[in-house]
Chains A and B, each alone.
Chain A
Amino acid sequence: MTRGKRLSRHFLRDFDHRLFWSAIGLIVIGIVFVYSATVENIQVAAPLHTRQALWALVGLTAILVAIRLPLQFYYSTAYLIYGIAMLLLVGVLVVGGGGAERWFNLAGAIRLQPSEPAKVAMVLAIARYLSGHNVNFRRVRDFLIPVGLAGLPFLLVARQPDLGTALVFPAVLLPVLFWRGVPLWVIFLLCSPLLSVVTAFSPYTWGPMLIAVGVVVWKSRLRRELALLVVTVNIVLGAVTPTVWDNLHEYQRQRILTFVDPQQDPLGAGYHVIQSTVAVGSGGLLGKGYLQGTQTKLNFLPAQHTDFMFSVIAEETGLVGALVVLLLFMGVLHRSLRAAVEVKNSFAGLVIIGASAIIFTHVVVNIGMALGLLPITGLPLPFISYGGSHLVSMMLLIGIVLGLRMRWVEY
């Protein structure tokens, strides 16, 4: 069995121990602090660390399976997996009916959150499309297809409605496109609609934004109709944003408003942000000690075992713990980028970059939220937040990265 031999040889030489153990380190930290966040917590029936540990075992299995699967499997099933994932997203909308429904209730207490596997599926599908030899970014169509692959899950998840999670899909697209050779100024133009929306509320920000778009378009010598389209889109978006604002869900608007100034509403929408920053800030250099976090233990910190795990860790272990967590994430990202450089296969590289982008987006949005820098979106902290679907999806991503890297000689 040459294959088995090769695998074991690779395992020693090419298995990325640092990536693997960084992820495991984060998972262990997660289990340890899920315990801290849920023990004696009147909001949950029992400590949830054992369930999280069980999910981690499921995730380990996923890693092992992902490592053993050949590159060809991911490549050939990428669209199929994407299709299934989209069907699940449609299904959860249909089953859910009226209110916000994000889960499928499976057997017993197990619930599947289809937006989690959809992230993996989207990365595979976009990687497959962009790794085709005939992709040429001078053609608009070759932009539109990956944008569409990201846009579909974005729309489906936004309908749930879960705008925070939905925004992950377009966010992941950018590093992937960059990796595929799209120049930074194009990335800027791709982002420009979003930037126009954000800056539209004041002429002092919108003006420079439009000027920047104009300069880039002029310098890039885009085709005239395309240049016109980009400029028009930006102007229109900036103009209609206030109207769209009025039609947002109240809670989304509140979250955004509260993000701007949490003190406005310290007992209502700003409460989460304030309590989270209080938890982090009161942790100090060394923290209040494991299981000693008063913000956590006395329930001042809301959604502590899911959204605000970083705050729990920062409160109980202080700057030291926060540094460890951030370094481990940096290790995961760094090792992923190294893997992307080393794999010689274009599809594999794109998948790995997509995986790193998913992890990065979650980390920044989640911790930014915990620190009062970003609006509250409900995005989990990878490997650490309580939640089976998310943990297994993240570990699957790690498994894929580990596996693809080990097979870099395979074609």
Chain B
Amino acid sequence: MTDAEVQARRWRANVLFVGYGAFLLFLLLRVGHLQVARHDVFVQLSDQNRLRPVVQQPIRGRIYDREGRIIVDNRLSWTVTITPPTTVQQDNVIREIATILDVPPEDIVVRLRERKGHQYTPVPIKRDVSFEVVARIRERGPELPYVGIQMEPRRRYPYGVLASHTLGFLREIDEEELSERQRRGEDYLFGDLVGKDGVERAYEEVLRGEKGIGYVEVNAQGRTVRETRERGYLPPVHGNHLITTLDIELQGVAESAFSDTARGAVIAMDPRDGALLVMASLPHFDPLDFSGVLDAATWDSLNSDRRKPLLNRALAGLYPPASTVKIVSATAGLQEGVINESMTLDPCVPGGWRLGNRSFHCWKEDHGELNVVGAIEQSCDVFFYQVGVRLGLRPLHRMATSFGLGQNTGLNLPGEVPGNFPDENYYDRTIGSGEWIESGQVINLSVGQGEILATPLQVAVMTAAIANGGMRVTPYMVRFTVPREEGAREPLAQTEPVPLDGVDPEALALVREGMIRVINGEKGTARNVALRVPGVMVAGKTGTGQNPHGEDHAWFTAFAPVEDPEIVVTVLVENGGGGSAVAAPIAAEVLRAYFRDRAASRSPAVGGGGPPI
């Protein structure tokens, strides 16, 4: 081999060395670029791969009644979730899990599609599954990536469906509310349960607490490998408890006093401050029906039910208050001086009372000559027609408004409706200016018929004003919150009762006297009913609301004891018939139960002793 050849070989070896070296150097520069210059980006991407935020669900606060009895609490349940896939198709997984859960696979697909833009958030597929289902899923673990089991607190109702309308229920947050709450910066996510009615809804913020956040490390198959605190951990703040003014046993008495098919409402309220002891609406629904997922069918059937089981009749049911409103008419008449204690008006006789060329009939046409107390006792329409005509619309409307008719009572529960007590503007608007005759309308209004509509809660407030000597109360139901950590009760501010505008005690005393005689008088409309409560004098007023669509609505509103009233009970039975026959016995049962308990063990102060926390 010549020197020239050796030189040539050396040269070629050098060229190859430079060539090889250039490539490897380029690779090294690329490694350096990735590992040094763009290190932060890739660390972030790597963490995104493996770290999943896990919401730490707060435990919702419990709801207690006034005796410290738990009426809504929580138990732990298993929820099956799917965390939408990031790397694999998972049709097989969906089919598999659908079989185990016994739900149609399409429903799961639809549900996963609904979840927009909340990546890595586990989507609840079925709530409250049995332990068997959990075991089956755990067993199949590796074959079911992305399927998770979460422990989730679930509402429990020790008293079943009692007070379901009032307490409300939890349901999965709908899209509208979700986006609204997220816009306000609240930490709600798709699939969260949220209070949808009643106390659950009104006190959502108090009961719910705040979510915490933790992180888990997952592998590429989406399985959790371990929990990690490297990104910190924010524990959830559990929700606060509520102590309500409800008496759940009294509520039970009220609800079971209704027959199975009856519809209606019962209110029991302390007339001194507006604390609600009972708020019942029949028929029931089961609050647990909504707390799962995929409840569209249940929801639709309840919504389309003609008996309207979801309607809270106590505060959203509108009825003509009928004769119960006579206590307002009487007060207005006495106050305005168009009648007085002893004054009698045109007698109630067959053929009715004539005004102009029309005659107006009483439900019972032989009351004869009555004063105001007797007219209340016997609920004489003819007497109150005349009171109305003598008063005129404006004073009657003013007094009704003063008693709280035609407006929300101010109870902090969702869904309340104001009802209606017409004024001049109303008739101008609906009939036409100058085309209605005041006396004609007033005759109707003064006995609670016509365009007048009221809720049972308004009637209760109205009754309370008579009972307590002229104070209008704002009903309330939640008296204390109890923070989980401290455990001490914190009173909620309540609206103080306000005196009715210019109502004299003498006028109210006469109305009360009339109401006492409704039950205790010789001719009282409710005298025949076994309404006696042992040792307690009860006053009340019946009402029978004419209903163009069917049977009359039966009313009865009462308070007791008459010397120092501490409870108002208002009962409405939809299409029940006569107030004295149908509504009054229910009120009597509630009152008897109330006073029996009180005699036995009730402490005079509300909620004796602290509730178990």
Contacts and interface: CB of A to CB of B under 8 A. Distances in A.
Contacts of A181: 8
B50 A284 contact: no
Interface string A179-217: 101001000000000000000000000000000000000
B20 A356 contact: yes
Nearest to A281: B42
Q: Name which of B20, B32, B36, B39 has the most chain A CB atoms within 10 A of its CB.
A: B20
Given A299-B220, A330-B20, A367-B27, A319 B8 contact: no
B46 A334 contact: no
Interface string A362-383: 0110011001010000000000
Nearest to B85: A267
A333 B13 CA distance: 10
A385 to B, nearest CB: 16
A178 B41 contact: no
Interface stretch (A28-36, A238-246, A271-279, A388-396): A271-279
B34 to A, nearest CB: 4
B42 A300 contact: no
Interface residues of A, number: 50
A285 B34 CA distance: 10
B596 interface: no
A282 interface: yes
Q: Which DSSP category, helix, strand, loop or mixed, fits chain A's interface?
A: helix
A319 B219 contact: no
A373 B16 CA distance: 22
B9 A340 contact: yes
A295 interface: yes
B13 A338 contact: yes
Interface in A309-341: 314, 318-319, 322-323, 326, 329-330, 333-334, 337-338, 340-341
Interface string B3-34: 00010111011011101110110011011101
Q: Name which of B31, B38, B142 has the most chain A CB atoms within 10 A of its CB.
A: B31
The size class of the interface chain B forms with chain A is: 35 or more
A373 B21 contact: no
Nearest to A353: B16
A338 B12 CA distance: 11
A349 interface: yes
B16 to A, nearest CB: 6
B600 to A, nearest CB: 65
Q: Name which of A278, A281, A318, A322 has the most chain B CB atoms within 10 A of its CB.
A: A281
Given A277-B42, A298-B220, A360-B20, A341 B10 contact: yes
A339 to B, nearest CB: 10
Interface string A53-75: 00000000000000000000000
B36 A319 contact: yes
A360 B13 contact: no
A294 B49 contact: yes
B571 to A, nearest CB: 64
A42 interface: yes
Contact of A295 (B30, B35, B46): B46
A299 B221 contact: yes
A326 B28 contact: yes
A326 B24 contact: yes
B50 A300 contact: yes
Contacts of B46: 278-279, 281-282, 294-295, 300
A327 to B, nearest CB: 9
A225 B554 CA distance: 114
B39 A294 contact: no
Contacts of B220: 298-300
A280 B30 CA distance: 10
Contact of B34 (A281, A298, A300): A281
Contacts, number: 127
A283 interface: yes
Q: Name which of A275, A278, A297, A330 has the most chain B CB atoms within 10 A of its CB.
A: A278
A53 to B, nearest CB: 27
Contacts of A334: 17
B24 A280 contact: no
Nearest to B219: A298
Nearest to A268: B87
Given A281-B34, A299-B220, A329 B24 contact: yes
B31 A278 contact: no
Given A367-B27, A371-B30, A281 B38 contact: yes
B4 to A, nearest CB: 12
A277 B6 CA distance: 43
B86 interface: yes
A60 B34 CA distance: 35
Interface in B25-73: 27-28, 30-32, 34-36, 38-39, 41-43, 45-46, 49-50
B431 interface: no
B1 A344 contact: yes
A175 interface: yes
Nearest to A318: B35
Given A278-B42, A282-B46, A300-B220, A371 B27 contact: yes
A338 B1 CA distance: 17
A283 B35 contact: yes
Contact of A178 (B15, B86, B87): B15
Nearest to A267: B87
A295 B42 CA distance: 11
Nearest to A322: B31
A333 B225 contact: no
Given A271-B87, A344-B1, A178 B36 contact: no
B218 interface: yes
A343 to B, nearest CB: 10
B217 interface: yes
Contacts of B17: 333-334, 337
Contacts of A284: 35-36, 39, 43
A207 to B, nearest CB: 26
A371 B34 contact: yes
Nearest to A274: B45
Interface string B532-568: 0000000000000000000000000000000000000
A319 B31 contact: yes
Contacts of B35: 280-281, 283-285, 314, 318-319, 322
Contacts of B87: 267, 271
Q: Name which of B15, B35, B142 has the most chain A CB atoms within 10 A of its CB.
A: B35
A297 B86 CA distance: 18
B528 to A, nearest CB: 79
B16 A282 contact: no
A179 B36 contact: no
A298 B142 contact: no
Contacts of B221: 42, 299
Contacts of A323: 28, 31
B193 to A, nearest CB: 32
A280 B42 contact: yes
Which 7 residue pairs of A and B lie closest in terms of their CB atoms, listed nearest first? Answer: A281-B42, A282-B46, A299-B220, A298-B219, A281-B34, A282-B42, A337-B13
Given A280-B31, A330-B21, A363-B24, 5 more contacts: A184-B15, A284-B43, A300-B50, A300-B220, A344-B1
17 contacts: A179-B16, A271-B87, A274-B45, A280-B34, A281-B35, A281-B38, A281-B41, A295-B46, A298-B220, A300-B219, A322-B35, A333-B17, A333-B20, A360-B23, A368-B27, A371-B30, A371-B34
